[in-house]
Structure 1
Amino acid sequence: MPGNVVDAADVRSGISLLVHPLLVDRGLRRYRLLSSVYGPRLEEWGVSLSFAHVRCYTTKFNRFFQKAGTWSKHVSRLWFTVGALAGVVLMFSSIIVLIFTLFQSLNLYQDTRPVLTPVMPGVNLPWRDLSYYVVTLVVCGVFHEAGHAFAASLEQVRVNGFGIFVMFLYPGAFVDLHSDHLAVISPKRQLRIYCAGVWHNVILVLFSILLLWALPLLLAPLYTTGVGAYVTSVEGDSVLSDKLKAGEIITKMNGCLVHSTPDWFQCIEELGNKNQPGYCLFSELLDRQERFFLNQTTLLEDGGRECCDKDTQSDICFQVFPTKGRPSIFHCLTARTVSAREPCQHSRDCTGVLDFACAFPAISPESRLVRISHSEGPDVLFLGDPRSLPFSLSTSSYIPSSSLSPSWLPELLQNLLMYLVSFSSALALLNMVPAYYLDGQWTLTALVELCCESHLQEKTRRQICGVVLVTGSVLMVVNIAIALWTLSMWS
């Protein structure tokens, strides 16, 4: 989606995150009373710091990987065999996705929504979501590398160590395997190891989706769902700031029922896509109101019409479309009273024995007269573009059952799980691209050895791998370059 322009404060915040740890490290090393303790502790924990790079490497998890990987060899072997099959499918799928994305970027498809979009803090990722970004990338990386370590232990390849790092603002993880052990095992066993990382990412995606689906049930003792959209905050400069408050529950917008936050967004979308309805009013009542003809109204810049006194805030101009041979009539009416009537598109839509007219708000084509029903007080009236409503307030589908239930917890869990689904699936797909320095490189090599060892000479197998790897690498680089260029254009 289009991102925000990076401002100076964002840049300063990003640079400070990179420089401060290095400055603290240098200060502690130069301080005599602490340097004798600080340095050895960093070495014990395997921590190293440099500009824009923090790295932690340890061997303390080696025994855990060994025990977990060999806990049940039959089950583990079946688990990682399925993972190898999934990895091979993902490798071929990644090529298809990159080719499709490339054609899409060249406007050969009508659907121009980006498939590959780099995530850049401060550009298309708000700084307020940086904590989600860091936590989910670390979790995805740890799951990925732990998968390699478990599979290596099963295949009797020694795990030398495990580590995590942060380079600039991008965190990650890595596992150090004994390369000599890895080189001598069969291609089938190598495949289990090479595909184990993305297989664990796939499992993480499925598990996160399951938790998202079960979240209302898991939070049921603390939160109620299905009764409305719970207002968590209202922007101070919003037109709704003096009409709605945090803690209220939105239940309806015009005739659209709101049971949850997705319903809230769906109703907003429907209001924006549909024409502004009119309202059924008694013709006799309208005859008693002051009437204005078209030349007695003022055309506004947004395309609406004004026929009311500028000092009145609760009245707006309504138009009754003419019958055959009669001109349009405008009336200045109270919006709250009129919007409570039955909606209509024509006077024949109004039911009853009396004579009705269908009165439409004389507002701009983008604006809508929206009646918002909520849990406390009278309905709130909103006049404007309904697509601005999500920027005016924040809502949640989870309504706290008591004061002990924090309103921010469900949103935090939802965002965390959605980030896990997004990042883990992207890591699983892109890491299996048959390109240099990715898991796809080693997977391709092992797959070609497994399938073609008895049919093709070693030189031919290497040539096949080389052609595919060059093609995959070029596709990867071109797609990333186009995605970065597109992102810069949006910004």
Structure 2
Amino acid sequence: MDVTTCLLLITVIYCILFFFDTLFKSCAHYPYIKFLHGTGFKIKLFHFQWNTTALNRILVRWGSSHLRFFNVWFALGLYTTLMLLPISVCLILYALFQIITAKGEDLNQNLIVEPIIPGINLPLSELGYYSVTLIFCSIVHEIGHALAAVKEDVHLVNVGVIVLFVIPVAYVNINIEKLTALNPWKTLRILCAGVWHNIVLAFVVFLIYIIMSYAFSTVFYVDNGIYITHVEPNSPLAGPRGLYAGDIITNINDCVVRDEISWTECLVNTWNNKPGFCVTTDLVHSVDESIPIFELPNGAYDCCGPTKKDWLCFEYADNNDGILELPPHMCLPARKVLETSNYFCDLTTQICPNNYHCIYPLLPNATTLLKIKLIQKPDVIYIGHPLDVLHATHVSPYIPRYLFTTPLIADTTMKLLKYIILFSLGLALVNVMPCIYMDGHHITNLLTQIVLKDKVQSRNTITLASIFITLTGTALLLFLCFYSIYTKIL
């Protein structure tokens, strides 16, 4: 089942649940209402909520034991979070500086603050990692608040999970009256505990990531190419001369592929810089079957005619001071050119070894010619958009050393660890920002009161200052998020 079908199925399930929930509630169906109260379920349109008090006793037991350790632990969390607060503000300001000073293309690639949106800058195929990681990081975050509250003798009301369509978020409810009655510094410890737990989680998982990288390197070849795990069946790459699961790619044209990052960079590079090929004069003279060049309806040029489907029109690109050793345009078999060409040329410099000449295919703007080099298999020749190759293939940087191994476990483990590190740090940075509905909102409010209570007599002035800081932080963060989404969509 693909991701789109799965999302449609989830939508249908939500609609059915919402319909029956509304029907039973309107009819005052007692067994159903009793079931909701007993289990803590709440169903709304594309919104599911569950809360319970069953975990309160466990959290109280944890928070009440080892008080000396928790005193030091949450004190460290307080100081670390307070140091992170100005860093998060500086990141927002730096991101705004990027928007003001950088050009559009550079900004789109290097914006330091941007939201992770499935389907825009996160593949929909990795939505499962997104959901699992988010709920795990938010549970660790809320456990921090709960343990700190218990340690300060603040009553826990309940804990629960909210699922907004497919995005789960954990939460903990604590007694607000007892929280506000505490000493401000004790309240800050509780507020900062969630961010502190996310920071510690990211650090611990980072250490695990390093250990697992070393462990997997003993079972898999790493940084020696990429391993094809799946090829979309409807893609042109799935043909008889295309790619198959189990293929190992080492080069795209003259670009060396070592891992997933270099695989993506090589494909993007061939999109931005059309490759040229170095050929000999003898090859061109022996196979050239060109006709007078003419323009096609799609804007490209052709010198082969409609009968030669596997042939391409190439243009002579040598910088030879007007001396033409080859015709300006030539019709050559694409596969033969790429199989015999061991050198590539940059069309800006047009440099080839001695006795070789630079030619490049005349193709539409979004199309390029790729030579995909495989281990122990013939090269794959592909004509099309380079990003179609990226979307049609699923790859792994882990190449099995033995026949009985598969990169599935390594891929799943390492990708999940990466997401936990990124999401945990992201939640820590976002939550500490002075923004509405974030921990930073309450932290900023308390800090403002602590700093200004001896300098400003009017409580209204202190409240207005806190509101101004929070609204400014909220506006800046929302602007950065919407701007990032807008540029990604464009």
Which TM-score band (shorter chain)? 0.7 to 0.9
What amino acid does structure 2 have at the position aligned with 1:471?
I
> 1:363 aligns to what?
362
Q: Kindly provide the CA deviation profile for residues 362-417 of structure 1, in whole angstroms up to 9, marking residues without a partner as x.
A: 32366543221213531111234434321232211123456765554444444434
Superposed CA RMSD: 3.9
The percentage of aligned residue pairs carrying the same residue is 25
Q: Is the 8 A contact 1:70 1:76 kept in 2?
A: no
> 1:191 aligns to what?
188
* Deviation of the 1:55 alpha carbon: 2.7
CA distance in 2, matches of 1:372, 1:220: 25
* Deviation of the 1:196 alpha carbon: 0.5
Shift of the 43–487 alpha-carbon distance from structure 1 to 2, 3 Å rule, reads same
CA distance in 2, matches of 1:487, 1:156: 43
Query: Which blocks of at least 5 consecutive residues in structure 1 are unaligned?
Result: 1-6
> 2:14 aligns to what?
18
> 2:154 aligns to what?
157
> Larger deviation: 473-482 or 440-449?
473-482
What is the aligned residue count? 472
CA distance in 1, matches of 2:448, 2:350: 73
**TM-score, normalised with respect to structure 1:** 0.80
Matched, 1:55 2:49: yes
Q: Is the 8 A contact 1:232 1:395 kept in 2?
A: yes
Shift of the 125–85 alpha-carbon distance from structure 1 to 2, 3 Å rule, reads same
User: 1:350 aligned to 348, 353, 375, which one?
Assistant: 353
* Deviation of the 1:200 alpha carbon: 1.4
> 2:464 aligns to what?
466
Q: Is the 8 A contact 1:336 1:381 kept in 2?
A: yes
CA distance in 1, matches of 2:220, 2:344: 38
What amino acid does structure 1 have at the position aligned with 2:386?
P
* Deviation of the 1:464 alpha carbon: 2.9
* Deviation of the 1:241 alpha carbon: 1.3
Q: Is the 8 A contact 2:118 2:124 kept in 1?
A: yes
Shift of the 363–24 alpha-carbon distance from structure 1 to 2, 3 Å rule, reads same
Q: Kindly provide the CA deviation profile for residues 93-140 of structure 1, in whole angstroms up to 9, marking residues without a partner as x.
A: 3434444555666x4543543555555666766654443333233222
Alignment of 1:231-242 (within 5 A): 231-242=228-239
Shift of the 229–87 alpha-carbon distance from structure 1 to 2, 3 Å rule, reads same
> 2:393 aligns to what?
393
Q: Is the 8 A contact 1:155 1:189 kept in 2?
A: yes
* Deviation of the 1:193 alpha carbon: 0.9
> 1:279 aligns to what?
278
Alignment of 1:235-254 (within 5 A): 235-242=232-239, 243-254=242-253
Shift of the 17–425 alpha-carbon distance from structure 1 to 2, 3 Å rule, reads farther
User: 2:74 aligned to 64, 75, 80, which one?
Assistant: 80
CA distance in 2, matches of 1:369, 1:49: 53
CA distance in 1, matches of 2:323, 2:408: 57
Q: Is the 8 A contact 1:164 1:173 kept in 2?
A: yes
CA distance in 2, matches of 1:265, 1:144: 34
Alignment of 1:413-428 (within 5 A): 413-428=413-428
**TM-score, normalised with respect to structure 2:** 0.80
Alignment of 1:280-295 (within 5 A): 280-281=279-280, 283-284=281-282, 286-288=284-286, 290=288
> Larger deviation: 180-189 or 95-104?
95-104
Shift of the 210–472 alpha-carbon distance from structure 1 to 2, 3 Å rule, reads same
Matched, 1:373 2:376: no
* Deviation of the 1:192 alpha carbon: 1.2
Q: Is the 8 A contact 2:367 2:386 kept in 1?
A: yes
What amino acid does structure 1 have at the position aligned with 2:244?
K
What amino acid does structure 1 have at the position aligned with 2:313?
C
* Deviation of the 1:429 alpha carbon: 2.3
Q: Is the 8 A contact 1:436 1:469 kept in 2?
A: no
> 1:296 aligns to what?
292
Q: Is the 8 A contact 1:216 1:225 kept in 2?
A: no
* Deviation of the 1:145 alpha carbon: 1.1
Q: Is the 8 A contact 2:223 2:259 kept in 1?
A: yes
> Larger deviation: 335-344 or 377-386?
335-344
Matched, 1:91 2:85: yes
CA distance in 1, matches of 2:423, 2:322: 63
CA distance in 2, matches of 1:201, 1:52: 28
What amino acid does structure 1 have at the position aligned with 2:464?
G
Alignment of 1:122-271 (within 5 A): 128-220=125-217, 223-242=220-239, 243-271=242-270
Which secondary structure does the structure 1 equivalent of 2:43 belong to?
Answer: strand
Which secondary structure does the structure 2 equivalent of 1:240 belong to?
Answer: helix
CA distance in 1, matches of 2:64, 2:129: 33
